[in-house]
Amino acid sequence: MHILVTGGAGFIGSHTVVALTKAGHKVVVADNLSNSKIETIATLEHIIGQKIEFHQVDVTEEQAVEKLFEQNKFHGVIHFAGLKAVGESVQKPLMYYMNNLISTMVVAKACVKYGVHKFVFSSSATVYGDNEAPFYEGMDLLPTTNPYGETKAMSERILMDLAKATPDFGVSLLRYFNPIGAHESGLIGELPNGVPNNLMPFVTQVASGKREQLQVFGDDYDTVDGSGVRDYIHVMDLAEGHVAAIEQLNAGTHVYNLGTGYGTSVLELIAAFEKANNIKVPYKIVDRRPGDIATCYADAKKAKNKLGWVAKRDIEQMCKDSWHFETKQLTETV
Ligand code: NAD
Ligand code: UD1
């Protein structure tokens, strides 16, 4: 298939470009580089051993997006482009609503206009809100606690309505759990701007000495050890989930959790990281982070049954690959 990957220079998009080309698909990447670097494209070309067609394009801009569709006969689109920092979305809600909703509508509109009938969307487990885990696709969604989460819930509804109204149009809403890890080469991975918000980038930066100490946000949740429980998934497993989703996409709306089905607590993750990499991660327990829920993990059966996809890489592998990426960054910046 010939696939447009918006946000393909970012963390999940870049790994998905690797998985798509490995599966024999041809990709065009469109990214405005607002949260990624142009160098990633050359690194991707090095990993996959072929050139990538890259366009520095803001996909909220209708004319620029239409031009891509005029120049290429796409079979499908994977729409990763979006802003994703939860805290920033509370400070700058309009920026989040405009970027994340308009990009989704502009790309979907171009799909309809140019007869492209496969649309895969990056949603998030955040749309489940504070439901009781395991989260399954058919459960009622609860309100999210921030504008970022709202952009995901709203985008899902917009795309569902479009699929209902457009014969042959197929939408796959992929609800990601917590992606960590990196490609086995250690050449691509997550590169957060400034202080990381998410747990694993913080852990690797503490382990490398870039930061002094990890703060564990709360040890009084009703969980195995009081710290928050999440379903961490290796980013390459997540990437392969996209390949399965687009290859099997047909008309209508299809919702899939992409998670492992297992929860790991913050303290368990720290211990696994220390063991896998034989390195200490100093931490202290602090207050809960506002907006966090106690437990979030997937019921991963639907993706297994319908797509034949399961996450294969375990927590040890995720910890090793995250650390491998961090150490490669260190040697390159020295
Ligand atoms: P990322 O920031 O690394 O990648 C997103 C990419 O989109 C970046 O390269 C950025 O430059 C680009 N982009 C943003 N707005 C754009 C625009 N208007 N036009 C063109 N490019 C634009 O983030 P990621 O972790 O790879 O996430 C990818 C998608 O998955 C996002 O939509 C995110 O909300 C969603 N998601 C991520 C997670 C996670 O934990 N990383 C979890 C659930 C959902
Ligand atoms: C966060 C977002 C969620 C988004 C997801 C993936 C919030 C409230 N939620 O989810 O919307 O989809 O990222 O981008 O921000 N933790 C620490 N110390 C840290 C960082 C995190 O103890 O320095 C804990 C958290 O309390 C949580 C776990 O680690 O229990 C995972 O946190 P994080 O990586 O930020 O992901 P989520 O909170 O699941």
Instruction: Answer whether 13 contacts ligand 1 (Cβ < 6 A).
Output: yes
Q: How far is the CA of 37 from the centre of ligand 2 (A)?
A: 24
Query: What string of DSSP letters covers 76-131?
Result: EEEE------HHHHHH-HHHHHHHHHHHHHHHHHHHHHTT--EEEEEEEGGGG-S-
Q: What is the pLDDT of residue 175?
A: 98
Helix, strand, or coil (residue 222): coil
Query: What string of DSSP letters covers 34-56?
Result: TTS-THHHHHHHHHHTS--EEEE
Instruction: Answer whether 266 contacts ligand 2 (Cβ < 6 A).
Output: yes
| 154 belongs to a structural domain | yes
**Residue range 132-137: mean pLDDT, rounded:** 98
Q: Which segments of the chain are extended strands (E)? A: 2-6, 26-31, 53-56, 76-79, 118-124, 170-176, 178-180, 214-217, 229-230, 232-234, 252-258, 264-265, 283-286, 295-296
Phi, psi angle pair for 2, to nearest 5° = -105, 115
Distances (CA, A) of 86 to 92, 147, 152: 10, 8, 12
pLDDT at 239 over 80: yes
| 64 belongs to a structural domain | yes
Q: What is the pLDDT of residue 334?
A: 41
β-bridge mates for residue 248, sequence order: none
| 331 belongs to a structural domain | no
| 35 belongs to a structural domain | yes
Q: What is the pLDDT of residue 145?
A: 87
The CATH number that applies at residue 89 is 3.40.50.720
Q: Print the domain residue range for 255.
A: 2-182+232-259
Structure-token pair, residue 25: 């698909």
| 55 belongs to a structural domain | yes
Q: What is the pLDDT of residue 333?
A: 54
**Residue range 303-321: mean pLDDT, rounded:** 98
**Residue range 201-226: mean pLDDT, rounded:** 97
d(CA 298, CA 131): 11
Work out the pLDDT band at 193, boundaries 50, 70, 90. confident
**Residue range 110-132: mean pLDDT, rounded:** 97
From 37-41, 118-122, 326-330, the region with the lowest mean pLDDT: 326-330
Do strands 178-180 and 264-265 pair parallel, antiparallel, or not at all (unpaired)? unpaired
| 282 belongs to a structural domain | no
| 318 belongs to a structural domain | no
- Hey, which residues are catalytic here? 148
Instruction: Answer whether 35 contacts ligand 1 (Cβ < 6 A).
Output: yes
Q: How far is the CA of 80 from the centre of ligand 1 (A)?
A: 5
Instruction: Answer whether 197 contacts ligand 2 (Cβ < 6 A).
Output: yes
pLDDT at 108 over 60: yes
| 211 belongs to a structural domain | no
Asked whether the beta carbons of 243 and 19 are under 8 A apart, the reply is: yes
Question: Is the bond preceding 93 in cis, omega lying within 30 degrees of 0?
Answer: no
Percent over 90 (pLDDT), the chain: 95
38-66: per-residue pLDDT in tens? Answer: 999 999 999 999 999 999 999 999 999 99
pLDDT at 264 over 60: yes
Q: For the chain, how many structural domains are there in total?
A: 1
Mean pLDDT, the chain, whole residue set: 97
Distances (CA, A) of 261 to 280, 298, 312, 316: 28, 5, 11, 16
Work out the pLDDT band at 331, boundaries 50, 70, 90. confident
